[in-house]
Structure 1
């Protein structure tokens, strides 16, 4: 507690003042815990415990968070001469300036001997205040910009510095900072500069970030969640279950099952939440998890059995993760697919959006499609918007792309996008979905037909038989690796695909 209060003095966080009339001071203490939730030190943190009111206690609280934190930093990696490093800012929120008047009671047992009835008026943010994350981001952003960094035009948590032909990339996530560059001297200079401005914990090579385990080698980077996988298997008593080779049976078709036996909703939601977090590095379970997640409001025995099947698959493949090669040529393309007839409930299309290796998701389209053509067309339009967002983001790294290929396995959907004369098939489609046609005509994307057997997005739209599932899983870069003599050696990979894929199902 003394150490925590000394941080307040070093950072000039507060002033001891007379309590103002009609204001309610706040205070609280909390132990500091580690990544596993255990108390790592007998250190308390002074935390604001208050029901804040917008317009009185705070105005703006929004602070940008990195979109898929490792998504672009890892695969692009223009910093091939050095490994990615990580640092943590000690008491980060105590560095952010606040504009509102906030008063804090003196902590119990630490009152001033001369002025026990006075309160502290905050000059800087305090943990627990709603505006604290924004205040810290503003302070860090201001410091980096003054230090010569440029901010990403799309991703506001990305900062880049170019000096003498060398590049330094900094990605921030609240107080956690990932950085790396093409010059060791530039990386060391940045670490020293940050240590002079803030109290920092230099954690060395990036190995664990936001629950992801990271291995770096000369050939690339491998990220996985093997420890987390084993933990959830143990938590839900599935550690001794019979392994399965796929996350979902090909003949399984889940529906509401209103006549089925109800199961514990809390347990079911806990299983779904744990699996959703795991999809950060396991796109192979994305479709099955999101399909089961639809029934959290009223789970039945059939739904729980489907979720247990996913856990049994994880028992079979606990070490799988994503591989990012440092030597592969980088290109951008998209795959779009939709499973219109496969939805038994309302014919809304199951949809996957975003990018393989850096981001993916599986969801239903918001509107009911009247035909497979319409479903494919809408899905491709959503994929197009994501590709354009990625194109703008990658331009911050100095990467320029021309016409981006968007691969669709429906020739009819491609014809609708290319030929505006097909009124009979398109007059009922909402105007906003013709976004795809507009950008095709502008030359931003190129619609290309792909055979169904080569449609990588199939793994996100439907359950597959083992052979097809393993093939697509390998082509997406989901594989198993092992570390030998401090070098990443290939342990198992079914097939290889080089590049950056944008997917939409």
Structure 2
């Protein structure tokens, strides 16, 4: 049984490995040899009444395509289904899910819209973020207003659906500012993080912070702590597969955050930061992570806390660099 994920099981036998993942009454299993897979399938069939579906192609709405070049996970069918469900299949495609000048608020004077339909749209899109990180920020921002949705909120939601019709996401470039106190209701900031495993983006998040930040440094520090916790979870999970890692690089576009995390002395400007976020400093001192500065225009995680605009080729160049030489090559992009 996995030390972190209790629904993950691994078996090593005769130089081969069998991996089993359970979700309620669904099971995915695979291995390094057909003998292990066949043996497990036969044993499960004897113990339980199950249906062996063969090679994995669909799972919980996800489509899986396996080939010599790797495994590709997408939700093309699901996307077509929700566009048809909300009657938006014939709309004009949009390049980005949200405009950079969109500033949503409660809009109490706006016209109310059908709450049931709006929540249905939110729920459908939230599941789609499992494979579409480009819409994560826009969907989470609209979800904040599902208790009392207005026409302006539905218009923003419709643009997200229109962006699903575009086959090419484009190359987002964000303006050089943080979403500090970005929520127009409670002035809380939005944390945006993403994690890579090799050259693959495997995890991402966009969520409003629980407390009001008094400075951009504090907002970035909290976001970095959130990213650190996810990296530690990934490190612990991968250890079950016999993979070990030293210092994991954590790219931050704020030199102030790096100085705070590396300096054990609490200055007057940082003493108000909640102690639970200072575990970032603890794990830096333990050698679990390595904090590295990256220029704001090259920070990929920015699309998770502010709307992108299609301009320039910065992220396309970074993506090509990662695919060619791996994430470590990003160090050449970092400022001195």
Same fold, TM exceeding 0.5?
yes
- Matches of 1:211 and 1:473, distance apart in 2: 29
The yes-or-no answer on 1:265 pairing with 2:265 is: no
- Matches of 1:173 and 1:499, distance apart in 2: 32
Alignment match, 1:363: 207
The yes-or-no answer on 1:391 pairing with 2:231 is: no
- Matches of 1:447 and 1:497, distance apart in 2: 23
Residue deviations 1:211-230, cap 9 Å, x none? 10111001101111111111
8 Å Cα contact 2:228/2:280 also seen in 1: yes
Alignment match, 1:346: 186
Higher strand share: 1
- Matches of 2:308 and 2:11, distance apart in 1: 45
* Superposed counterparts of 1:21-420, under 5 Å: 151-317=1-167, 339-353=179-193, 355=195, 357-420=201-264
What's the TM-score once normalised by structure 2's chain length?
0.88
- Matches of 1:343 and 1:446, distance apart in 2: 31
8 Å Cα contact 2:191/2:219 also seen in 1: no
- Matches of 1:186 and 1:208, distance apart in 2: 22
8 Å Cα contact 2:119/2:146 also seen in 1: yes
8 Å Cα contact 1:292/1:307 also seen in 2: yes
Helix, strand or coil: the match of 1:447?
Answer: strand
- Matches of 1:239 and 1:186, distance apart in 2: 45
The yes-or-no answer on 1:453 pairing with 2:297 is: yes
8 Å Cα contact 2:284/2:291 also seen in 1: yes
- Matches of 1:445 and 1:472, distance apart in 2: 24
Offset at 1:247?
A: 0.5
8 Å Cα contact 1:338/1:379 also seen in 2: no
Residue deviations 1:5-40, cap 9 Å, x none? xxxxxxxxxxxxxxxxxxxxxxxxxxxxxxxxxxxx
- Matches of 2:125 and 2:321, distance apart in 1: 24
Structure 2 unaligned blocks of 5 or more: 170-176, 329-336
Moved more, 185-194 or 214-223: 185-194
Residue deviations 1:423-475, cap 9 Å, x none? 1211111111111111111111111111112101011111111136x864896
- Structure 2 CA distance for partners of 1:475 and 1:225, relative to 1, 3 Å: farther
- Matches of 1:494 and 1:258, distance apart in 2: 46
Offset at 1:341?
A: 4.8
Find the structure with the greater CA-based Rg.
1
Helix, strand or coil: the match of 1:262?
Answer: coil
* Superposed counterparts of 1:419-438, under 5 Å: 419-438=263-282
Higher helix share: 2
Helix, strand or coil: the match of 1:202?
Answer: coil
- Structure 2 CA distance for partners of 1:475 and 1:236, relative to 1, 3 Å: farther
Helix, strand or coil: the match of 1:223?
Answer: strand
- Matches of 1:308 and 1:205, distance apart in 2: 36
Root-mean-square deviation (CA), in Å?
2.4
Offset at 1:382?
A: 1.6
State how many pairs are aligned.
317
8 Å Cα contact 1:349/1:368 also seen in 2: yes
- Matches of 2:42 and 2:191, distance apart in 1: 46
Helix, strand or coil: the match of 1:222?
Answer: strand
- Matches of 2:279 and 2:324, distance apart in 1: 30
8 Å Cα contact 2:189/2:212 also seen in 1: yes
Helix, strand or coil: the match of 2:244?
Answer: coil
- Structure 2 CA distance for partners of 1:461 and 1:161, relative to 1, 3 Å: same
